[in-house]
A and B are shown apart, each in its own frame.
Chain A
Amino acid sequence: MGLLGVAIGAALALARTRFRANEDSVVEAVNALLPQSQCAQCGYPGCRPYAEAIVGGAALNLCPPGGQDTAAALAELLGRDGTGAPVTEHREVKAFIDEAACIGCALCLEACPVDAIVGANKFMHTVIAARCTGCELCVAPCPVDCIDLMPAQESVWQWPRP
């Protein structure tokens, strides 16, 4: 009996080191729930940094694009309190550069977290709409205020709930 106890204890000790929840995999799971708009509105420079911060103990309710749904999903994943997230209506926007007003300063290129703006110094810039996440980070750096946020796509077909 004692021998069995020792054996099981050893096995458990081994399992503890062997199969410990990998912190990276937790970060990945958290990251997968975030909306990936990379908007930094949570105060961290992107979704993955926020995911790392969440695993390190940051609050779950800092993500405005994800809103309450994301906070609830995170709370369920981590077993923590996710209340107090901002209520967001789902609104998809895309940045749009008024090319007539653009002076080609390249400041928005550096601000874009997903490389969705094409252009070079003294050349006109444009946004690749299919790559833009609507994070608004390019709006503030623009010195001539030529970037607008437009609704991404008018209604996509949805069958109504019966």
Chain B
Amino acid sequence: MAPAVAELPLPAVLRHPLATPVGRFRPSAEDGARARLGDVIAERFEAGGGADEKPVEVLRAAASGRIERTPDALLLHPDGGAKRAPPLQAPSLVERTLEAGIVGLGGAGYPTHLKLRQALERNAHALIVNAVECEAGVNADRALLNCHADDVLHGIHAVADALGAPQVTLAVSAPLPAAIDFATQVVDGPYPAGWERALTQRLLGLEAPPDGYPTDVGVLVLNVATVFAIGRAWRHGEPLIQRVVTVGRREFWVRIGHPVAELPLPPGAATVGGPVTGWPADADAAVGKTTRAVTPRPAVAASPCIRCGWCATACPEGLLPQELWHGIAAGRWAQTERLRLADCIECGACDLACPSQLPLLAALRHAKSQRMEAARRDSAANLARTRFEARNARLAARAAADRAKRANRLQAPRDWMRPRAADALRNIPPEPEPDAPPDGPPPR
């Protein structure tokens, strides 16, 4: 048995940035309020969702303490108390997963209850538990499996029971200690072998559609840490408040919200995430649900692109990162669109391959978020245009109806009218149609 994963002491403050790559959290606790361990302190809703909708993700307090709200973060000052929220109650696995605040802990952060629901709707016939963890220097999943295999198995059983009787595969990158009695499949391909699409293809020979997910071909792929969290939530009613994180070279249990600056790392710059897919930590960075590792950041000096094309060879999606790099630098968005920017899976293989050490992944991420923002604004503009046109059509129809009514009233002679008056009425020329907007700007 591997040595148990150590638990890091509680920091002075737990920090939860509100803006995250998957969306914005809305604090549900007031400034200065007390939270018990496990209380819901923030929620995330679908973009454009109303106030009465259910959240797609909840964030629970990782300690009992006092809430402080700032414009862009929610802070929790632990008070050392032992007050706990009651255990989770939801009767179905899907509901319980939402209640526990579980998201894809492999890195994507997609709400797991949505993924489970999709798998149930499509009658998924296979479950792949992903512990391949192909990024060098990250061992959080492996440590979890070595030390907490029983809870992982509880999670696997919970999901498998919910799906019926799927074919379960536990994919690992190296054989497990013999003490763990579970059939595994060793996947040791080139990076990124642990990408769920590659894994589905390799283990089951099924290919997810280009714009879809493995659930579309009846395969549910869950990261092993996610499965562990499901096991804890289902069996013990525990919310997701901590995770195993590779800090430097060792693994620790770290509370969600632990400031990166207070992790036991050598002084100097740090990378949030693995050495390949991570990003530079700023002063306010904190461990989030999807943070698998925090590693020291080596200083690199980038040189200009020499168009060697190694990144294109490395890209598992078959994109042309060097062309995208030049397109992004020049702001040619149409070109990046033609080069299928949206298909980038942010694996960082191009970064590893680049002999000039260009920050290709950072540039691609930046461009992708710009693209999302442009799409959001476009759809908002389209909606406004449709509504503006519908309103104009409605007002025009109403004006036309009013005009017709008035004309009718004028032209229909009444019985009591004397013949000459009635004749005169018939000879009134019809009201001219009002013109479309007069020339020149009308008054505001």
Taking a contact as CB atoms under 8 Å apart, the answer to whether A161 and B366 are in contact is: yes
Q: A114 and B387: CB pair below 8 A? A: yes
Q: Does A25 contact B (CB under 8 A)?
A: no
Instruction: Determine, out of B18-26, B148-156, B270-278, the stretch whose residues face the partner at the interface.
Output: B18-26
For A158, the closest partner residue in chain B by CB is B369
Given the interface pairs A36-B385, A38-B388, A46-B388, the reply to whether A155 lies near B72 with Cβ below 8 Å is yes
Q: In the complex where A36-B384, A162-B359 touch, is A43 in contact with B441 (Cβ < 8 A)?
A: yes
B388 adjacent to A114 (CB under 8 Å):
yes
- Chain A residue with the shortest CB-CB distance to B346: A159
Q: In the complex, A31 Cα to B442 Cα: how many Å?
A: 19
Q: Note all chain B residues with C-beta closer than 8 A to A35.
A: 377, 381
B368 — which chain A residues lie within 8 A by C-beta? 159
Contact of B365 with A by CB under 8 A? yes
B363 at the interface (CB under 8 A from A): yes
A-contact bits for B347-391, CB 8 A (1 contact / 0 none): 000000000000100110110111001001100111111011111
User: In chain B, residues 115-154, which have Cβ atoms closer than 8 Å to a Cβ of chain A?
Assistant: none
Point out the residues of chain A lying under 8 angstroms from B22, CB to CB: 157
Distance, CA A35 to CA B374, complexed state (A): 12
Neighbouring A residues of B382 by C-beta, 8 Å: 36
Please tell me if the beta carbons of B385 and A113 are within 8 angstroms of each other in the complex: no
A154 near B18: Cβ-Cβ < 8 Å: yes
The answer to whether A159 and B365 touch across the interface, beta carbons within 8 angstroms, is yes
Cα of A116 to Cα of B380 in the assembled complex, Å: 13
**Is B48 an interface residue when CB atoms closer than 8 A count as contact?**
yes
Q: CA A160 – CA B362 in complex, angstroms?
A: 8
Q: Residue A80 at the B interface, CB < 8 A?
A: no
Tell me whether B391 and A113 are in contact (CB under 8 A): yes
Chain B 405-444 interface 0/1 with A at a Cβ cutoff of 8 Å (1 = within): 0000000000000000000000000000000010001101
Min CB–CB distance B376 → chain A (angstroms): 8
Other-chain residue from A36, A131, A155 in contact with B19 (beta carbon distance below 8 A): A155
In contact, A43 and B444 (Cβ under 8 angstroms): yes
B71 at the interface (CB under 8 A from A): yes
Mask: chain B, 288-314; 1 = CB below 8 Å from A; 0 = not: 000000000000000000000000000
Q: How far is the CA of A38 from the CA of B444 in the complex (A)?
A: 12
Kindly identify which residue among B19, B359, B362 contacts A154, using a CB–CB cutoff of 8 Å.
Answer: B19
Distance A159 CA – B362 CA, assembled complex (angstroms): 8
Q: Mark B53-68, 1 if CB is under 8 A from A, else 0.
A: 0000000000000000
Asked if A64 lies at the interface with its beta carbon under 8 angstroms from chain B, I say no
**Judging by beta carbons under 8 Å apart, are A158 and B387 in contact?**
no
Query: Does A98 lie at the interface of the complex (its beta carbon under 8 Å from any beta carbon of B)?
Result: no
Q: List the A side residues contacting B385 at CB < 8 Å.
A: 31, 36, 47-48
Name, among B359, B362, B385, B390, the residue most crowded by chain A CB atoms within 10 Å (CB to CB): B385
Residues 118-162 of A contacting B (Cβ, < 8 Å): 130-131, 133, 153-162
- In the complex formed, the residue of A with least CB distance to B376 is A156
Bitwise, B208-225 to A at CB < 8 A (1) or not (0) is: 000000000000000000
Closest CB in chain B relative to A58 CB, distance in Å: 8
- Do the beta carbons of B20 and A154 come within 8 Å of each other? no
Instruction: Decide yes or no whether A115 CB sits under 8 A from chain B.
Output: yes
Closest chain-B Cβ to A122's Cβ sits at a distance in Å of 22
Q: Is the CB of A45 within 8 A of B437?
A: yes
CA distance in complex: A43, B442 (Å) = 7
On A, residues with C-beta under 8 Å from B are: 31, 35-38, 40, 42-49, 53, 113-116, 130-131, 133, 153-162
On B, residues with C-beta under 8 Å from A are: 18-24, 48, 50, 71-72, 279, 359, 362-363, 365-366, 368-370, 373, 376-377, 380-385, 387-392, 437, 441-442, 444
